[in-house]
Amino acid sequence: MPDTPHVDPFTLKTEPAALEDLRARLRATRWPDAPEDAGWSLGTDLDYLRELVGYWADGFDWSAQEAALARLPHFRVRVGGLGIHVVHARAAATAGPVLPLVLTHGWPDSFWRYSKVVPLLTDPGAHGADPADAFDVAVPDLPGYGYSDRPTGPPLNSIAVAGLWAELMDVLGYPRFGAAGGDIGSHVSRYLALDHPDRVVAVHRTDAGLPVYTGPPEDLTPEERAWIDSTAAWSVTEGAYGAMHRTKPQTAAFGLTDSPAGLAAWILEKLQAWSDCGGDVERRFTKDEILTNITLYWLTGTIGSSMRMYKANGAIPPAQLARRVEVPSGFSIFRGDVVRPPRAWLERTANAVRITEPPSGGHFAPFEEPELYAEELRAFFRPYRAAMTA
């Protein structure tokens, strides 16, 4: 029988036994030592993680967090032979044309990244913005992340996922739409624009990825050369996780799938290092928010499959990475993000029609600064709403 795409409601539900097992593992954590006053300098801070794990075991209310997430409309859609979990929220009543928008997350998160921003986009009038700026919003979990299926064969790269998203949006009833994302989601959104320009009316990104340039060095501006040098230095000091993901992700997956404390350390370090928190992770995320993200990984068992996507993306040919996006592109380069490209690079690699630098927020801007991020999307996509009625 043909694999006919269809949309099925999806309910978030956790068996009590899974939570009991999690708490038992947390209480039995075998802790490493750490040099005195090491703090975050060597990775995740031991004292903070002990505190967080203690709360995870004996204070964190996953059922309440799950119920809050369940207030979003969840579905499963079969595309490309995989069951894809998607939050699909339709716009509130509006006088103007509704623009469908697919939002793609990155690592180490899931649809969680956009959980705060969905209502701001679907019902802006209820949040002090113009009701005419409402979107229909689709937030899928990448394959191997969250509640989406894990590929059983080779991991999928961003190009393949962009193809799945084009099919997903067709199944959801959207022949034309906007795309937005950050981190891996920036790559997926880019390939949506590159490979489906007849369907993507405009694309918005919060980064441009790590630079790949094979042309003459003298053609680069001084700002571009400085940026490429700075990203190389960043990779030396902060890129060990990526090297592991691209080369031997399965080795790390054994420990991270078996130890919730180890999983928390791996993810928490990135929330602290990549957010605009000034070194204090709880300036941007409450313990409940941190643990909701990590618990999604734990309960779905997806840390290994999420890391494997890095290996697939690492094998994308350089010719693909060098393609220029001609679809109208917007960039919001948040001041607290880790790798911030200059305007010259954005204009070199894309038809950049709008570039802004929001004053606060980091790598997880939709979660750190949901109101600011929502306004960035409203402002960028506003001129392209007319395309929905053309």
Catalytic residue positions? Answer: 183, 310, 363
Residue 80, both tokens: 């490309």
Question: From residue 179, how far is each of 103, 158, 159, 331, 384 by CA, in Å?
Answer: 6, 14, 14, 12, 12
Burial of 354 (0-12, 13-18, 19+ CB in 10 A): middle
Residue 290: name the closest of 11, 51, 75 by CA. Answer: 51
Question: From residue 96, how far is each of 92, 125, 131, 198 by CA, in Å?
Answer: 11, 13, 8, 22
* Residue pair 196/178 in contact by the 8 Å Cβ criterion: no
Question: From residue 115, how far is each of 71, 88, 90, 314, 339 by CA, in Å?
Answer: 10, 11, 14, 29, 24
In terms of DSSP bridges, do strands 200-205 and 325-332 run parallel, antiparallel, or are they unpaired? parallel
Element (H, E) at 354: strand 350-356
